Structure 1
């Protein structure tokens, strides 16, 4: 295929690349340690290496995971760092003795991603279309700051860069399946954000094929659902809800410790001398010092990734079964407990309600009622959670729901958008 565009879905959990040309789009595979696949984990791993310039080596994607699993205590593993893109409070990440700005982490990640495409991107297309969420993750996100950081991340890429809402990429991918006109609602559930676009798809052969009608988004998605499991099962074992002594007073342990610990983008960054020293002081004054000791052990022994995987396994299991066993053993914490799907759905009820309100906002932005939607296309890994799917089946009916390419549809559609004469019409 004569590639003229590149679509990049830079996701919170996973990233995917597609090349567009000759009216079609194809995914770029990665010959990863676990086998060839089109999905590249959005993660970085750092370790000391005297033979590398600066003394600090790094890897990304599944290679980062392999390096971490081999030497967990001698490495620093970062994941979900996209969630801080729009955060004014995030300035740098401390990795060993170095500090990295968001755009520096992004450039390291992109360099490794490109290097693992097997020379597929040696002749890089002149037009690159990057997906962005409708609403960035985090409290009071600053989209202008995120755009500034994204621009700095792509400096030196040598291409014309366009940013398009991620659900529009999925809409364009889904439109390739349709032969008749339709009004569609695309619901994209990622790791950090849930985004919605209402799009009018015209008949095949007409242009433009898709006409955006309205959008809405919210910083609630897969990572928030993970947090609900962590908050109920793990954090109480690490001191949440506990107390400590301060002079002649007994106070609740500040919850900020647990919000940082439960944020996958921040957990690894807690392994620094200042934070560990502060936690040690808290342990000595805590009523239950052993609980704080367990938190310190998980941080010091780099158990964040195994904990993340244990939570993810439980969530995925509950998408297939009515109950599962949550298991985690690491850093002095050993936990095995049953979870029912009903329990989990009760824990995430507040988040589901917020997502439902955001769907209403997307329809309002498009000026349409639910009855005007012909098809609902669900994409993103969190769309597989049964309670999330029921938001749409209860409201629109099972017969209008379409799925597929949960992890790849956005990149596929972004590359197709890149083939359009006027990409600016889609730009966010």
Structure 2
């Protein structure tokens, strides 16, 4: 196993986030890296025959992925080292009847996906990406991923002269205030349709296919500004979708470095930002069905799960120097001080004292600092795939993350040291010989 240095790792992270404007593109980017590393794709419609020493991956809905190394050690004894994250991020999604004509402009009707910080979507150079379904020349439905890449839309702010309260008491109406402008309307406005725009994009990206009619789409807007290493001493990474593509990339790189003695699994699911309740979300059956096919015998599967553990990785709130009062004074993580163990007495995070103890040992072995996050007692906190996976699958779980500013903004901020630090801990986790879910003394 060759550990990457921090600069190389961060450049890989930046490239991955840039190539992944939607969950569909994130899953495709991960699948390509897995194939290049010798992993074989499994089709859910086919019979599986998984062999010890084998490396596999499976994709559902084009947006959720499980990658698995079948260790040579017996599963019932050694368990599975699981690492989980999610592929989706808050965004603006294009509505089905997308075209709006208003005051001489073509605009797009959009719907807010997840808990987006809406103010950050104004005055950004926006593009569109996602999945498009169409009728092919053989009269069958097909789908492809599209990415316009170029800045083709913007949501302009209203000038302060027309809203004198903008800096004191501004509210944003999600129905009327955030509709992006595409271009000026033509004299004959009906000559432009959104379906025609998508058809032209398909033909541009895939000249070998014969798309006859657009049937439907799932499209997101995204900020085209490239990720960057910023700060006077280059200590920060600024980018869209760090929550939670950063964790997906950490888990992927650590898995690619893992050996084949122990069984290791990466699961990156969609729809976490809206509750995970879907066929490809953490509250759905994807992981449980994978484990059922991996270990068909119920007793053996339960024994394997007893020896297993899940690290749920999702970004944590770094203590904001302008709003330090929003944090518990004793639990305010600082950027570049190491990964954060996330704790909540009401199980919004799935961390237990035992899973936390093991993670602290892993950090010590990897020579990485570790921090803790607990929300103020008078404030609610978010949640992750951790409690959901723990409840659905019955596996011991830990919630961790990299400290981050501006979570759910179009441009979030993390430390340049922290993602690489979490990767080193994940490598240690995948390499550790002892079954992670078995604790002595009971």
TM range (shorter): under 0.3
- Name the TM-score, length of structure 2 as normaliser: 0.25
